[in-house]
């Protein structure tokens, strides 16, 4: 990847439903502009794990949340991106990144000189600065309690939104497959989401919605 600006930003995309970090990337534009491109790529039907995840969010009227993990200037972006991807993978995050970060375009290999330079950059990074970034990144992955302003903003976004005909049909199908007894079972069960989805012959997303009281029946029976 050739950077067209000396200033770079390592950013994360977070699932607004679970507050889990799902993607780590690098950009020389604003994070908002980069998010717009991610949304466009998914909307155009581009393939890939990350695009599939973004499309799933778009289908629910949602979009990824963004956070800045690290900023810098010069050639340190590749080592920084690799560091953060490795950090979150080791922490158990289900990243949609295919590569380990810092990749050259079209799979080109780095020269030995470039690899040596990246190792030296990694050795000279400020430990205290990295500690602060790691704490911030871990907090972002684990999620945070929304402020009243954030709650109202989210409610305002969804208020008055009309469900598509496909969504209404899907909800009806789920209602037929999972009766009240099944909803109670899902709400109180210790089984995994996948196990419950298989048991009731519904999608994992449907089980998630019931467990998180996103359906009328789940809210009524809670």
Buried b (16+ CB within 10 A) or exposed e, 142-153: eeeeeeeeeeee
Q: Mean pLDDT, 10 residues at a time, over the chain (222 residues)?
A: 69 91 92 94 91 93 92 87 90 88 46 60 59 52 55 60 63 64 85 80 77 80 76
| pLDDT for position 143 | 47
Question: ∠ CA(63), CA(56), CA(189), 5° rounding?
Answer: 105
Cα–Cα distance for residue pair 192/194, rounded to 1 Å:
5
Cβ 104 vs Cβ 1: under 8 Å: yes
| pLDDT for position 84 | 92
DSSP string, 200-213: HT--HHHHHHHHTT
Cα–Cα distance for residue pair 182/91, rounded to 1 Å:
34
Cα–Cα distance for residue pair 102/110, rounded to 1 Å:
10
Beta bridge partners of 21: 14
* pTM as predicted: 0.49
Cβ 122 vs Cβ 83: under 8 Å: yes
Report the run of H or E that residue 93 belongs to, with start and end.
Answer: none
* Residue 173 backbone dihedrals phi, psi, to 5 degrees: -65, -40
| pLDDT for position 208 | 80
Q: How far is CA 128 from the centre of its chain?
A: 27
Cα–Cα distance for residue pair 38/27, rounded to 1 Å:
12
Cβ 43 vs Cβ 58: under 8 Å: yes
| pLDDT for position 50 | 94
Residue in the block written with tokens 């155009």: 44
| pLDDT for position 144 | 47
Taking 3-state DSSP, the helix, strand and coil percentages for the chain, each rounded to the nearest 5, stand at 55, 10, 30
Instruction: For the chain, state the CA radius of gyration.
Output: 21
């Amino acid at each position: 990847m050739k950077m067209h600006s000396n200033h770079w930003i390592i950013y994360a995309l977070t699932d607004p439903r679970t507050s889990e970090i799902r993607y780590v990337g690098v950009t020389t534009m604003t994070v908002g502009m980069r998010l717009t491109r991610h949304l466009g790529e998914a909307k155009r039907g581009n393939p890939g794990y990350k695009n599939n995840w973004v499309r799933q969010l778009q289908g629910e009227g949602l979009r990824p949340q963004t956070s800045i993990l690290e900023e810098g200037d010069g050639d340190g972006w590749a080592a920084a991106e690799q560091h953060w991807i490795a950090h979150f993978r080791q922490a158990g995050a289900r990243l949609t990144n295919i590569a380990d970060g810092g990749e050259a375009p079209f799979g080109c290999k780095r020269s030995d000189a470039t690899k040596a330079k990246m190792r030296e950059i990694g050795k000279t990074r400020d430990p205290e600065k990295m500690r602060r970034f790691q704490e911030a990144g871990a907090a972002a992955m684990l999620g945070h309690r929304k402020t009243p302003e954030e709650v109202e903003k989210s409610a305002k976004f969804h208020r008055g939104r009309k469900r598509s005909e496909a969504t209404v049909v899907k909800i009806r199908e789920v209602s037929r497959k999972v009766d009240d007894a099944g909803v109670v079972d899902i709400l109180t069960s210790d089984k995994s989401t996948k196990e419950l989805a298989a048991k009731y012959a519904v999608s994992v997303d449907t089980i998630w919605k019931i467990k998180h009281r996103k359906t009328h029946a789940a809210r009524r029976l809670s």
